Amino acid sequence: MLRTLAKTLLVTFGIDSAHADDFESLSRQAASEAPRYALGVGYAKTGEPPVTMTFGPIHKDTSRPVTADAQWHIGSITKSFTAALVMRFVDRQILSLDEPIEAYLPTDKGQMHSHWRELTLRQLLSHTSGLQANAPMADFSKRSDENLHSLRRAVLAPLWTSPLPNPSDAYLYSNLGYVLAGFIVEEVSGRSWEELVLEELASPLGLNSLGFGAPSEEGAPWGHRDLFLFKRKISPQGEITDNPPWLGPAGTIHLNLKDLLRWGQAQIAACKGEPNSLLSAASCQEMRKVVAENYGLGWVIETDKEAPYIWHNGSNSMWYAKLVILTEHDLVLVAATNVFDAKGIDELVDKLRLTNPVTDQSD
C-alpha cells in the first residue's frame, strides 16, 4: 500500500526516479503498520489545490476505510494557530510581543508573582518563559467545556502566585505557556480562544473542517492508546479521547488534511506579503525567527540544512501528525496517523522532503 503511495508521489511531484529506492525502502519500513491503522498523506504547492491520499481502516478492528475527507487530531500543530492568532492582534497593535503580560491582565496581575507579571508573549510562544511543561495532573480531570476562559484561569491562578520554577530565557517546551497565551488573547478580546480560532483563522481561510477535541464525525479515524504492549482503539463515544478542553491553545484542534495543507499555504502567502493574507509579512516572518534552540513562535525552524524548512508535529498520544513547509519550494507536506507513530511518520515526511519534491520546469 505504501509502495503504491510512494510511486504516486514520485509521479505527482516529478521526483527523479533515482530516488525511487528511498521511497520503496520507506514503504517496507512502514508497511507493517499500514494494514491496521489509518494513514493520511498530502501536499500542496503555492496557488494549487491540495492533494491528499488516505489509507487503512478507521481503527484496527475493522475493515471500514477512513474517508478521504476525514478529520485528524493534530495535537501541538495547534500551537502554530495560537501563535498566528496572537500575531493577528499584534498586527492590530492590541498586543505586543515584548510588553510584560501584566499590561493585559488587569484583573489578575495583583495576585501574580513578579516573575509571571514580567513574562512576555514572545517568551510564551517560544517556550522561553521558564514555565513548566504542564499543569499539575489533578487539573487534567477538569473536563468541562463550559466557560473555558474561567476554567483556564482556575488552572493558572494557583500557579502564578508562586515564583517560576525555571526563571531563565532557556528553551523549555511548555504547553502551559500556550494556555496562558490563549488566556491573554481571550482577556483582551472578550471572546474564547475557540471562537477566535474559528472567526479569525478558520473562517477567512475556509477551513470548514476545523474543530476541537478528537474527531467524531462519520468515517474519521479513531485514536489508539497504548495499553501495556498493545494498542487499544478509543471510541469517540463514551471514552476519554483527548486532553481536557482547557488545554486548547496548546493542542486540541482537529481538521482534515486539505484544510491542514491550506493552513500551510496561508503561511507561505503571508510571509510573501500577498494581498489579503492572514498576517502581515512582518508578523509572519517574525514567527519564523529562531528565539531559542530551533524554535520561533509556533514553528520549529530548521536553518542548518541546504534546503531550510519549518515544521511542527503534534500528538495527544493517540494520534500523530506532522506539517512541513519547504520554504524555498513553496510546498507544504503533511502526514498523519491514528496511533502514536512518531518515528514512522517522521521518516515518511523526511523522505518526501529530501526527495527533491519540486521539479524545476523553468527551462
pLDDT, tens digit (0-9, with 9 covering 90-100), for 51-86: 888 888 999 999 999 999 999 999 999 999 999 999
Q: What is the rounded radius of gyration, in angstroms, for the C-alpha atoms of the chain? A: 20
pLDDT: which is higher, 258 or 358? 258
Question: What number of other Cβ atoms are within 10 A of residue 166's Cβ?
Answer: 13
- Write the CATH number for 80: 3.40.710.10
In a domain, 225, yes or no: yes
Question: What number of other Cβ atoms are within 10 A of residue 18's Cβ?
Answer: 9
Burial status of residue 183 (CB atoms within 10 A of its CB: 0-12, 13-18, 19 or more): buried
Residues 30, 239 contacting (CB under 8 angstroms): no
In a domain, 48, yes or no: no
Question: What number of other Cβ atoms are within 10 A of residue 199's Cβ?
Answer: 13
Give the pLDDT confidence of 10-30 residue by residue, as tens digits. 444 443 443 334 433 443 344
Residue 339 has pLDDT above 70, yes or no: yes
Residue 109 has pLDDT above 70, yes or no: yes
What's the mean pLDDT in 164-190?
Answer: 95
In a domain, 11, yes or no: no
343: pLDDT confidence band, cut at 50, 70 and 90? Answer: confident
- Residues sharing a CB contact under 8 Å with residue 34, sequence separation 6 or more, in sequence order: 1, 2, 55, 56
Q: Which domain covers residue 205, as residue numbers?
A: 70-341
Q: Which helix (H) or strand (E) holds 4?
A: helix 2-13
Residue 9 has pLDDT above 80, yes or no: no
Residue 172 has pLDDT above 60, yes or no: yes
Question: What number of other Cβ atoms are within 10 A of residue 168's Cβ?
Answer: 11
pTM: predicted TM-score of the whole model, two decimal places: 0.91
Q: What integer pLDDT is reported at residue 35 of this predicted model?
A: 56
Q: What integer pLDDT is reported at residue 165 of this predicted model?
A: 84
Question: What number of other Cβ atoms are within 10 A of residue 127's Cβ?
Answer: 23
User: Hey, what amino acid is at 68?
Assistant: A
In a domain, 78, yes or no: yes
Signed CA dihedral, 164, 87, 148, 311: sign only: negative
Q: Return the exposure string of 266-289: e unless at least 16 CB atoms fall within 10 Å of the residue's CB, then b.
A: bbbbbbeeeeebbbbeebbebbbe
In a domain, 357, yes or no: no
In a domain, 52, yes or no: no
Residue 245 has pLDDT above 50, yes or no: yes
304: pLDDT confidence band, cut at 50, 70 and 90? Answer: low
User: Hey, what amino acid is at 108?
Assistant: D
Q: How many domains in the chain? A: 1
- Residues sharing a CB contact under 8 Å with residue 51, sequence separation 6 or more, in sequence order: 12, 42, 43, 44
Q: How far apart are CA 132 and CA 353, in angstroms?
A: 33
Residue 309 has pLDDT above 60, yes or no: yes
228: pLDDT confidence band, cut at 50, 70 and 90? Answer: confident
32: pLDDT confidence band, cut at 50, 70 and 90? Answer: very low
In a domain, 93, yes or no: yes
pLDDT: which is higher, 114 or 362? 114
Give the pLDDT confidence of 82-107 residue by residue, as tens digits. 999 999 999 999 999 999 999 999 99
Strand partners, 255: 72
In a domain, 178, yes or no: yes
